[in-house]
Each structure stands twice: as C-alpha cells, then as structure tokens.
C-alpha cells in the first residue's frame, strides 16, 4: 500500500498513518492524479519521493545522529540523578533541543517568573528539559508524533515522583486543524513550530495564538536556514505587527540560532 511504502524509511516509521493519508490525498488532488499508478512505475516512485520529502521537511530533518533509544533512557531513570542525566541525554535526539541544550537555563530564567504551568505545542522532545526549569506544577504537551506522546506520558509519571504535586500529560494534536481543546495554563510554548505548520501567510498562526488559553505565549523561530546559514533578517516582522494590532505586549530576545518572542494577551 502506498502509505506503507512512504513510511518504510527508518526516520519516518513513527509517523501517524492518518496524517500521511491526508497528505497523500491532498497531493493527489493537487497533482490531478485520479488513480494510484502501478507500484513499479516511475509515477508511483515520484509520489513516494515527494511525500517523503514533505515529511522530512516538517518532521524527519529534526532527528539528529544522536537519536539513542529514548524509551530505554526513560526506563532507566531510577533516581533523581539518573532522571536528570537521562533527560539531558534525550535532549540530544532532536536538532532543536540539541542546539538549545547549553542555553536552556538561561532561556528559562528569562521566561519563568516563579512557579508556573505550561502548554507546549509541537513539543517534540522539549518537555525533557523539565530539569532545567525553575519550579513547574503542570505541563500539557502536544505533538502529532504518537510515539513521542507515549514516551512523554511515561516520562511525566516519573517526573511527578521527583516534583511533588507535579502533573503532566501529553496528547496527539494536529496543529494544522483548530478543532482541539486546550487546558488553561499560565504559559504556552510554540517553539520552532509556526514555520512548520504554515508555509504561506500567517492567518492560521494568528488564529492558533488567539485560541490558546494562556496568559503568556512564547513563540520561537530559527535564526539559521535549513542549510545552516545565518539568516539576514532573523526577526519575524509579522509577529511584531500582529502583537501591535491585537494589543499584546511583546518582548523578544535571541539565544544561539533562535529568536524568542514573548506575547502577553491584554485580557489576562
Ligand atoms: C522543529 S520541531 C520543534 C520541536 C520543539 N517545539 C522544539 O523546539 O524543541 C517541530 C515539531 O513539530 C511537530 N509537528 C510538525 N507538524 C505538526 C502538526 N501539524 N501538528 C502538531 N505537531 C507538529 C513535529 O513532530 C516536531 O516535533
């Protein structure tokens, strides 16, 4: 079956089949292909190649060569020391968290203002940075990668042993749709995700930001291109204009290869 062929590659095997089917349906419609070609044909191979390319762009490229067995790191968290050490190891498995690893404490010291609760959308492995956070009481993490969600729910159970009163839960959410319901929290992280879910314009990102039930929304973007060149204009003017238009208070700062915007909603 076409979907199975698409996800045959190691780095794409965890993809949710429903997302792949949706992407495939859109691709076939866009390219006016009414029938799936024979699987030996060049046309079939092109479909597989194009869809894989698309998923690597939004998903696969974020895996680094360090990808160890995250599940194994989680199951061997036997005490607080190994909880912290293994969390730190897991952060090496995605490019975003690997790059952020040396700066997490610095970044969080700018964002946290006492004990807080967090929604983390398109979270990837970012929740494994909990040990770098000042006091945290609730964490809601969402991504469209099912296997990461299972791992995160296991991880949150372990974290609650070391942080009395801490509650964490993770769910599969597709951010390209806006049908989900989020719990009310103090902060929301949208780290390196808005460019991924929207290629043209920013209407969807704006609707997503408006829907988020949190006082403070922190949006980050890479300041390097996929080919690792420093961007000439790393600021995202559109988000600055959007904040002005919606009356949000906005601050920004840069860490290595990443720019952060803090938006405070007026109604909170
Ligand atoms: C660049 S990574 C960023 C991960 C994390 N926010 C960080 O900065 O460390 C993008 C993440 O978004 C997730 N993602 C991509 N498209 C998504 C969608 N439509 N809905 C939910 N998550 C998505 C990917 O699975 C991946 O974990």
pLDDT at 104: 97
Count CB neighbours of 116 within 10 A: 21
Record the pTM: 0.84
pLDDT at 13: 75
pLDDT at 258: 94
Best of 133, 151, 187, 196 for a ligand 1 pocket test (most atoms within 8 Å of beta carbon): 196
Domains and CATH numbers, the chain: 2-62 (no CATH), 102-264 (3.40.50.150)
- Edge-to-edge strand order for the sheet containing 116-121? 167-172, 136-143, 116-121, 185-191, 214-222, 258-264, 249-255
* Residue 48 to residue 215: CA distance in whole angstroms: 42
Within a 13 Å sphere around the CA of 174, how many CA atoms are in the beta-carbon half?
A: 11
pLDDT at 133: 96
Q: Is pLDDT of 60 > 70?
A: no
The candidate with the shortest Cα–Cα distance to 151, out of 61, 77, 59, is: 77
Confidence of residue 15 (pLDDT cuts 50, 70, 90): confident
As a whole number, the mean pLDDT across the chain is: 89
Choose the weakest-confidence range: 11-25, 126-140, 166-180, 183-197.
Answer: 11-25
**Residues whose beta carbon lies within 6 Å of some atom of ligand 1:** 58-59, 62, 94, 96-97, 122-124, 126, 143-145, 173-176, 191-193, 196-197
């Amino acid at each position: 079956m076409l979907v199975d062929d698409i996800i045959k590659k190691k780095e794409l095997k965890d993809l949710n089949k429903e997302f792949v089917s949706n992407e495939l349906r859109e691709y076939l419609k866009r390219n006016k292909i009414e029938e799936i070609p024979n699987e030996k044909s060049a046309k079939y191979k092109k479909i597989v190649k194009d869809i894989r390319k698309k998923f690597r762009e939004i998903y696969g490229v974020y895996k680094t060569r360090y990808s160890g067995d995250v599940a194994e790191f989680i199951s061997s968290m036997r005490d607080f020391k190994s909880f912290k050490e293994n969390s730190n190891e897991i952060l090496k498995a995605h490019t975003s968290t690997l790059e952020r690893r040396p700066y997490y404490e610095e970044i969080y010291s700018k964002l946290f203002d006492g004990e807080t609760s967090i929604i983390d959308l398109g979270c990837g492995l970012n929740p494994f940075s909990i040990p770098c956070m000042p006091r945290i009481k609730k964490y809601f993490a969402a991504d469209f990668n099912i296997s990461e969600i299972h791992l995160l729910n296991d991880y949150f159970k372990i974290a609650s042993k070391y942080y009395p009163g801490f509650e964490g839960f993770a769910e599969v959410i597709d951010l390209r749709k806006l049908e989900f319901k989020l719990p009310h929290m103090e902060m929301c992280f949208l780290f390196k995700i808005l460019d991924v879910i929207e290629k043209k314009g920013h209407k969807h990102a704006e609707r997503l930001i408006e829907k988020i039930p949190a006082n403070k929304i922190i949006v980050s973007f890479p300041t390097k291109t996929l080919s690792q060149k420093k961007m000439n204009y790393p600021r995202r003017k559109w988000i600055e204009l959007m904040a002005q238009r919606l009356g949000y208070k906005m601050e920004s700062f840069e860490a290595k290869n990443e720019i952060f915007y803090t938006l405070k909603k007026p109604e909170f």
